Amino acid sequence: MGNPKNNGRFTNAVKKLLIATNNKGKVKELQQLLKDSGFELVTPADIKLTLEVEEDGKNYSENAAKKAIAFANASGLISLADDSGLEVEALNGAPGLYSARYSPKPGANDADRRTFLLQNLQDKPRPWKAHFHATIAIAKPSGEVEVAEGNCFGEIIPVERGTGGFGYDPIFLLPKLDQTMAELDMEHKNRLSHRALAVMNALPILTKLFGE
Ligand code: ITT
């Protein structure tokens, strides 16, 4: 029996999903979050795809959609992109959309961005409440795109703790656990993170887009 939506012809049974990000930390987390989803996960490196997408949207959804569509167009595969950031209350939501570029230093890395954030918070009263946000966009090569979101609330601390995760994880404390994101192993982070929640909210969209 073939697929009735395809006049009974057999379609490719393998449902390939491209993880549309150049951030190695995100790749690892998304691979684990989606490992039991039933989709064959493909990374840009797997298909030798090098693509830098300019993130000039005015919000997370626009950037995530732009990345997902660009990767879907370039690969011909359904593509899942993540646009995320850290929002700190005392900095009126900064670094937010600009979390990946938040440092005046040329060639800055994650550690430089954490240092810059802590410098900017120095004179602000604690606790430094903050949340991580993630918007996931899933796009088809046809241009159809849908998004899902997740948030994770905590606070920024002045001294780094832990070596796991990436980005701002060593200074992001989960007060109820008294652990930073970087002190959790990936399985634990993937049970409570902004990205985990966004992926959970994205699963019905994936099923729908692959079923069409
Ligand atoms: P892609 O666009 O290729 O996916 P990117 O790193 O540029 O990679 P974003 O523009 O979405 O991705 O930037 C998100 C930044 O927010 C990321 O580089 C980190 O600095 C921070 N961030 C997002 N999620 C995080 C997490 O789970 N832990 C720590 N920092 C995180």
Tens digit of each residue's pLDDT (9 = 90 or more) over 137-196 = 999 999 999 999 999 999 999 999 999 999 999 999 999 999 999 999 999 999 999 999
Q: What is the reported pLDDT for 69?
A: 98
Q: What is the reported pLDDT for 197?
A: 98
How far is 137 from 82, CA to CA, in rounded Å? 6
Q: Is the CB of 168 under 6 A from ligand 1?
A: yes
The closest-lying atom of ligand 1 relative to the alpha carbon of residue 82 is 4
Q: What is the reported pLDDT for 212?
A: 82
> Ligand 1 mean position to 21 CA, how many Å?
9
For the chain, what is the mean pLDDT? 94
Q: String of b and e for 105-127 (b: at least 16 CB within 10 Å)? A: eeeeebeebbbbbbeebeeeeee
Q: How many CA atoms lie within 13 A of 84 on its CB side?
A: 28
Whether 55 and 63 have beta carbons less than 8 Å apart is answered as yes
Q: Is the CB of 116 under 6 A from ligand 1?
A: no
- What residue type is assigned to position 154 of the chain? G
Q: What is the reported pLDDT for 153?
A: 98
The pLDDT confidence band at residue 92, using thresholds 50, 70 and 90, is very high
> Residues 7-58: pLDDT tens digits?
444 455 679 999 999 999 999 999 999 999 999 999 999 999 999 999 999 9
Q: What is the reported pLDDT for 8?
A: 42
Q: Which domain holds residue 96?
A: 4-211
Q: Is the CB of 86 under 6 A from ligand 1?
A: yes
Q: Is the CB of 84 under 6 A from ligand 1?
A: yes
Domain CATH number, residue 156: 3.90.950.10
pLDDT surpassing 50 at residue 4: no
Strand stretches in 14-127, DSSP E: 16-19, 40-42, 78-88
Question: Mutate which of 31, 55, 84 to test ligand 1's pocket (most atoms within 8 Å of Cβ)?
Answer: 84
> Ligand 1 mean position to 142 CA, how many Å?
26
How far is 70 from 96, CA to CA, in rounded Å? 22
> Ligand 1 mean position to 12 CA, how many Å?
33
The pLDDT confidence band at residue 5, using thresholds 50, 70 and 90, is very low
> Ligand 1 mean position to 7 CA, how many Å?
43
Tell me the CA end-to-end span of the chain in Å, nearest whole number.
18
List, by residue number, the catalytic residues.
83
Q: Look at phi and psi of residue 161 and say left if phi exceeds 0, alpha if psi is from -120 to 50, else beta.
A: beta
Number of domains in the chain: 1
Q: What is the reported pLDDT for 14?
A: 77
Q: Is the CB of 87 under 6 A from ligand 1?
A: no
Q: What is the reported pLDDT for 199?
A: 98
